[in-house]
Amino acid sequence: MSAVRRALLSLSDKQGLVPFAQGLVRLGFELLSTGGTRKALEEAGVPVLDVAQYTGFPEMMDGRVKTLHPRIHGGLLGRPDLGEDAASMKDHGITPFELVVVNLYPFVETISKPNVTAEEAIEQIDIGGPSMLRSAAKNHKYVGVVTSPSQYQQVLAELEQGMLGFAFRRQLAAAAFEMTARYDRAIADYMAGLTDSEVASDPEFPSVLTLKYERRSSLRYGENPHQRAAFYVEANPPSSSLAAAKILHGKELSYNNLLDLDAAMQIVREFRAPAACVIKHNNPCGCAVGDSLAEAYVKADGGDPVSAFGSILGFNRPVDVETADQLSVPGRFIEAIIAPSFEPAAFQLLTTVPKWKANVRLLECPAMLDSRAVSQEFRRVTGGLLVQDRDESIDDSSGWKVVTTRSPTAEEFTDLEFAWSVCKYVKSNAILFAKKGQVVGVGAGQMSRLDSAYIAAYKSGERAKGGVCASDAFFPFRDGIDQIHDAGITAVIQPGGSKRDEDVIAACNEYGIAMLFTGRRHFRH
């Protein structure tokens, strides 16, 4: 190692730069830097040498060319204990770098902004930064490569003891290669999108798809104890997504908890009125709207009190004391709750009163009612991946068509809108009964729509009389209408589109049932 301890710094993100650089100077490092990084250090009174002074070659082309020089990369790639490398470095006045501190132009942040042009995006493609990172990371036997402010403290601590240990340098090198891989992948995806657009393809489904997620936590297990699992999140997840929710209380979340919390959040944000939903095995067994959140919860829990035991709850309003009182009624058991927030008194009650107070998971997501968080969803199949638009758009009721002799009453229409909003989150084949803003019966995940209708009728009992029915897809035969009529249903909403639609319409007319066709199916497998 050279007697001169030299560090090269070139940063777009200057968080923590000055105290870190001051620490390096204190440890005897000579600092070399470029452009804005050099200026920030000079303004803070940190001694720094301009890279152009060292290379003898000025920055040019608006800063595009500054570190792409043999004296820089020779100092990064040189192996001082190899005779030929040492001779070359001596002949050309190259001093090895002990440390390289680099992060990259904000390409991802730039393309995330609205109305960014291709020219603006391309200008944020860093060239010198990745080159330096790769050189230093390849030569990590001799060079420490630092890519994140989160590493500064440990780097200084190890340097205080003399030099960076080899294991730590290898860890830093792995992080550097990970950074350049993510960066290059983002650029490649962006350029592929531009290319796909130019050849009239669909830029939402690029010809090559690479997903980038970071592990947030390892989970105790997956759907079953013998399955391993982990939770991965995208970089900068949308504020209205589950990944942005904050865990306020309770034991560790499970794989199934996360699935059900996501479903709960999706459903309640369908409604403007105070709403609550009760999720069990990724299906709503209860959902309701009310004049208050407490009323909505009582109605939602009452939709299927037996299934509601050990459920996941979602609310579209801050949880208040009145609602928390209802949640704490003896005999109720709740696994987790997600809401925009919890009033302090409600949080205190939920974490001190019920028997399950120590274990219940409480999550807040203040922006959960904002615009839809995810535009696409992915499902793994053996050897491949299925990608589709997420079915979260709110249907426009102005396009619905009355196909029966009788039109729905105003009260029925309101309930049909409510039932249709919830039904699309029920596993297919889905039949949902509702009445007065409350789900009263659900038939989910059956191989036959008739079976789902039977289960919904069984679950609802007498409460179905005068209620409405939503079906996520068309009725293939009139027998489904016969079943819901026997249950007391008076109005139906469904997509339509069966070759036997006329038979189904005739059955409704026979029973005096009003029926709407939406023209849109909501299968959920």
Known active-site residue 281: yes
Measured between alpha carbons, how far is residue 1 from residues 77, 102, 415 in Å?
A: 13, 21, 77
Residue type, 206: P
Nearest to 251 by CA among 335, 194, 326: 335
Q: Which residues of 437-446 are buried (b: 16+ CB within 10 A; e: fewer)?
A: bbbbbbbbbb
Query: Count of alpha carbons within 13 Å of 195, Cβ hemisphere only?
Result: 9
Catalytic residue among 138, 251, 357, 436: 138
Known active-site residue 226: no
What is the spatial distance between Cα 77 and Cα 467, in angstroms, rounded to a whole number? 75
Q: Which residues of 495-513 are buried (b: 16+ CB within 10 A; e: fewer)?
A: bbeeeebeebbebbeebeb
What is the spatial distance between Cα 259 and Cα 261, in angstroms, rounded to a whole number? 6
What is the spatial distance between Cα 482 and Cα 497, in angstroms, rounded to a whole number? 19
What string of DSSP letters covers 360-424? -EEEE-TTTTSS-S-SEEEEEETTEEEEEE-S-PPP-GGG-EE-SSSPPPHHHHHHHHHHHHHHT
Measured between alpha carbons, how far is residue 451 from residues 307, 444, 499, 504 in Å?
A: 19, 9, 20, 17
3-state secondary structure (DSSP) of residue 337: strand
Measured between alpha carbons, how far is residue 41 from residues 32, 44, 104, 426 in Å?
A: 10, 5, 18, 58
What is the spatial distance between Cα 434 and Cα 440, in angstroms, rounded to a whole number? 5
Q: If you count DSSP H runs as helices and E runs as strands, how many of each does the chain have, helices first?
A: 18, 21
Q: Do 359 and 250 contact (CB within 8 A), yes or no?
A: yes
3-state secondary structure (DSSP) of residue 486: helix
Query: Count of alpha carbons within 13 Å of 150, Cβ hemisphere only?
Result: 2
Catalytic residue among 14, 69, 251, 281: 281
Instruction: For CA atoms 19, 25, 26, 27, give the dihedral sign.
Output: positive
Beta carbons within 10 angstroms of residue 25's beta carbon: 15
Residue type, 502: E
Q: Do 440 and 415 contact (CB within 8 A), yes or no?
A: no
Active-site positions? 138, 281
